[in-house]
């Protein structure tokens, strides 16, 4: 039909497709949807399995102490690495520093991200929406190292802000290689994640609900507090969990902006592996980090549900 040069026009694509159909039917004799579903799932399950396999090996390593004579892990099992974590105050101290950072970063990031997400959804101007989307995605698509480097240029000892302040006769305070710099860098890094997770929750709120609240005489701050915020709570929960866990496990910001004096747990893990070459201790710290993170997230989900993080399953 489509090709009138041939008397019996069967397009090549059709013939090819028939071959493939035959081949698939021969290779895959199952008719049930369940078997197809399992086959579709298998590659992803295997790929994620790599992660679990590696984690299994790390769990095994974590139960062997490093022998200082041979610099290898001793063959016998022991809890020495976990005891080291509990006995040395530095580890608990760093864990507390990391947890505190995670709390601060989560609170500030959500506070800043919420109005942004709200305006992004509610604005009537197409160009404003586009601008806000691009401003959001540009840093999201630029990695942590590049962004940390940008902050080094701005906040560094000979950085732009210092030079600027000096010009006005102000002695610049140390703005880099301290805890606030790490927190600041992390907030900037987390903002896109938080906004993207809050947005679906705000989209789901009908604008008429807000109008109704204002029509009944509520001022906008009350409408915001009593209507918008509670209705957007799935987004806030989802965003908080993601920002909290990403901060809890971050490596690059404390490494680059912290100047070696503001390490997080991830930096300790790195140092155990590559500075003191003790994979047993590093593995134990990793397992502890996974456990602390999982317990906290499970607690939040138990109290508040999975929020916008919930993956929707089969339709009812």
Partner 1 sequence: MNGVSGERSKGIVLRSMVGLVVAMLSLPTVIVIGASFTAGEIIRFPPDGLSLRWYSELWQLDDFRQALWRTFHVSIICTLISIPVGTLAALASVRTRFRFGGLVRIYLLLPFTIPLVVSGLSLMTLFGHARILGQLWPVGVGLCVINLPFMIWSVSASVNHLDPELENAASSCGAPPVQAFLTVTLPAVAPGIITGALLMFILAFNEFLVSLFLTDSRTVTLPVQIYNSIRSVITPDLAAVSVLYIVIAVLAIWLLDRLVGLEIFLKSR
Q: Which of residues 105-144 bind partner 1 (CB under 8 A)?
A: 112-113, 115-116, 118-121, 129-130, 132-139, 141-144
Distance of closest approach, residue 241 Cβ to partner 1, in angstroms: 10
Could you tell me the maximum CA-CA distance found in the chain, to the nearest angstrom? 89
Give the distance from CA 312 to its chain's centroid: 19
Q: Scanning residues 72 to 101, which ones bind partner 1 (CB under 8 A)?
A: none
Closer to partner 1 by CB, 7 or 62: give it. Answer: 62
φ, ψ at 72 (rounded to 5°)? -125, 165
Q: Min. distance of Cβ 20 from partner 1 in angstroms?
A: 5
Q: Which is nearer to partner 1, 7 or 121 (CB)?
A: 121
Contacts of residue 31, defined as CB under 8 A and 6 or more positions apart, other chains included, come to: none
**What are the b/e assignments for 147-157, b being 16+ CB within 10 Å?**
bbeebbeebbe
Q: How far is the CB of 179 from partner 1 (least distance, A)?
A: 18
Assigned token pair, 237: 């929960």
CB of 177 to partner 1, least distance (A): 9
Listed ranges 3-11, 14-22, 63-71, 75-83: which one lies at the site for partner 1 (CB under 8 A): 14-22
Footprint on residues 245-304 left by partner 1 (CB under 8 A): 245, 248-249, 251-252, 256, 266, 269-270, 273, 279, 282-283, 286, 289-290, 293-294, 297
**Of 4 and 108, which has the nearer Cβ to partner 1?**
108
Q: How far apart are CA 286 and CA 266, in angstroms?
A: 8
Judge contact between 61 and 279, C-beta under 8 A: yes
Alpha helix (H) ranges present in the chain? 12-27, 33-62, 80-87, 89-122, 126-140, 144-155, 160-167, 179-203, 207-215, 220-223, 229-231, 233-248, 252-257, 265-274, 279-304
Closest to partner 1 by CB, 9 vs 115, is 115
Per-residue DSSP letter, 309: G
Q: Which residue among 153, 170, 209, 212 contacts partner 1 (CB under 8 A)?
A: 153
Candidates 220, 225, 230, 295; binder of partner 1 (CB under 8 A) is: 220
Which span sits near partner 1 by CB under 8 A: 2-10, 18-26, 67-75, 80-88?
18-26
């Amino acid at each position: 039909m489509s090709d009138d040069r041939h008397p019996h026009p069967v397009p090549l694509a059709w013939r090819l497709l028939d071959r493939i159909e035959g081949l698939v039917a021969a290779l895959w004799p199952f008719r049930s949807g369940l078997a197809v579903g399992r086959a579709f799932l298998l590659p992803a399950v295997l790929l994620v399995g790599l992660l679990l396999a590696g984690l299994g090996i790390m769990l095994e390593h974590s139960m062997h102490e490093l022998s200082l004579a041979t610099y290898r892990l001793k063959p016998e099992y022991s809890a020495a690495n976990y005891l080291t974590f509990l006995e040395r105050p530095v580890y608990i101290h760093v864990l507390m520093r990391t947890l505190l950072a995670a709390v601060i970063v989560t609170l500030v990031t959500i506070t800043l991200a919420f109005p942004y997400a709200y305006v992004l959804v509610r604005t009537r101007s197409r160009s404003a929406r586009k601008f806000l989307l691009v401003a959001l995605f540009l840093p999201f698509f630029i990695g942590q190292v590049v962004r940390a480097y940008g902050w080094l240029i701005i906040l560094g000892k000979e950085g732009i802000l210092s030079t600027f302040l000096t010009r006005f006769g102000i002695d610049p305070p140390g703005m880099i290689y301290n805890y606030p710099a790490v927190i600041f860098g992390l907030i900037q890094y987390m903002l896109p994640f938080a906004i993207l997770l809050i947005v679906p929750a705000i989209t789901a709120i009908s604008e008429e609900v807000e109008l109704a609240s204002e029509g009944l005489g509520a001022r906008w701050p009350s409408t915001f507090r009593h209507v918008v915020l509670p209705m957007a709570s799935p987004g806030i929960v989802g965003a908080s969990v993601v920002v909290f866990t990403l901060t809890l496990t971050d490596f690059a910001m404390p490494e680059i902006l912290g100047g070696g004096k503001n390490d997080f747990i991830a930096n300790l893990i790195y140092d155990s592996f590559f500075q003191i070459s003790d994979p047993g201790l590093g593995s134990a710290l990793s397992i502890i980090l996974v456990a602390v993170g999982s317990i906290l997230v499970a607690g939040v989900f138990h109290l508040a549900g999975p929020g916008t993080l919930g993956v929707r399953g089969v339709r009812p």
